[in-house]
Structure 1
Amino acid sequence: MNDEINTSAELAEAAAMPRCHEVHADPERCPPEQPESVAKKPVEQKSPAQWAYERLIMYIQNFEKTLDNEHEVAMGFTGGDAGVLRIEGMGYFDPDVITFYGSDPTGAKTQLVQHVSQLSVMLRALPKQVEQSEPNRIGFRLAQDLEKA
């Protein structure tokens, strides 16, 4: 406990601000940065789907920063034999659905529609597709879209 004194306005503002805390063995690996556009609208005014979508974008973008030019972000599924989805797009449907668009390792189009209460995403690095000169960085495009909103 500290002896810092806050005004009631400062306490209300601090309570409304999203918090993220992470510790990594590699000190260069940082928690996701929150874009200004995410902070513009208070959490209480966001649907569970929008809030999950915005945080996933931050995690995907942060994960992509750790990848070399030979790998792209994908997500693995838990349970069953669903496998892996190369993330090529993402969206949400208020109030509580997140959608991932992409392809599986064979190139088949894949879409996952998931309720936020069941959300469990494992980010994975997959080798980029051979015909591409540059890796696909979906996190960058998703973050740009957030900034436009």
Structure 2
Amino acid sequence: MDDDIRTAAEAHEDDALPRCHEVHADPNTANAGDQPIPRAVKDTPLAKKSPAQWAYERVVLYLRNFEEQLDADQEVAMGFTGGDAGVLRIEGMGYFDPDIVTFYGTDGSGGRTQLVQHVSQLNVMLRALPKPVERETPSRIGFRLAQDLDGDTPAET
């Protein structure tokens, strides 16, 4: 126990800040919790966020962290859990209050794909896929989504 005296406002503020804890076998592995938190995530009190918004914001942080570990020939995709639906190359993401999160993209054959999921069923497996041969640089949706949370105009990728 420490001897610091904290105001009720400080305790309330600490309670509203997102917390993340991860441990990896390789201590050099980047943790999503070590990433800078976008303004919209930390400036909006948790009590004012719907389950959909809160899930969306945290998945964005995981996407950005995952992409930082990819090489120049890879892009992020999402493998579906609990079924044999394949993977979805993530090209967009959104939420619909109070409790729906959606992912937009293409499947392995290039077909348009959208996953609409209730937050209580949210399971996301991030996968690295080779970038399309015709694309010079890989798409980085996690970075674009994080810029959007910060209120910045996403850079073209």
TM-score calculated relative to the size of structure 2: 0.89
Q: Deviations over 1:32-74 (max 9, x none)?
A: 2222221010111001101110101000000000000111000
Residue matched to 1:45? 48
State the match for 1:124 in structure 2. 127
State the partner residue of 2:66. 63
Q: Take 2:117 and 2:135, find their aligned partners in 1: how far apart are those partners?
A: 29
| 1:81 Cα deviation from its structure 2 partner | 1.7
In structure 2, the partner of 1:144 is 147
What is the distance in 1 between the residues matched to 2:2 and 2:144? 43
Choose which of 130, 134, 147 in structure 1 pairs with 2:137.
134
Distance 1:129 1:85 in 2: 13
Q: Aligned residue for 2:155?
A: none
Identity of aligned residues (%): 65
The one-character-per-residue Cα deviations of 1:73-129 (angstroms, maximum 9, x if unpaired) are 001011222110000000000100000000011101100000000000000001111
Taking the aligned partners of 1:9 and 1:137, their CA distance within structure 2 comes to 38
- Point out the more displaced range, 2-11 or 88-97: 2-11
Unaligned 5+ residue runs, structure 2? 153-157
1:106 is aligned to 109
Query: RMSD between aligned alpha carbons?
Result: 1.4
Q: Which blocks of at least 5 consecutive residues in structure 1 are unaligned? A: none
Between the two proteins, the alignment pairs up a number of residues equal to 148
What SS does the corresponding residue of 2:64 show, helix, strand or coil? Answer: helix
Q: If the length of structure 1 is used for normalisation, what is the TM-score?
A: 0.93
Q: Secondary structure at the match of 2:136?
A: coil
Tell whether the 8 Å contact from 2:39 to 2:149 is kept in structure 1 after alignment. Answer: no
**Runs (4+) of structure 1 moved beyond 3 Å?**
none
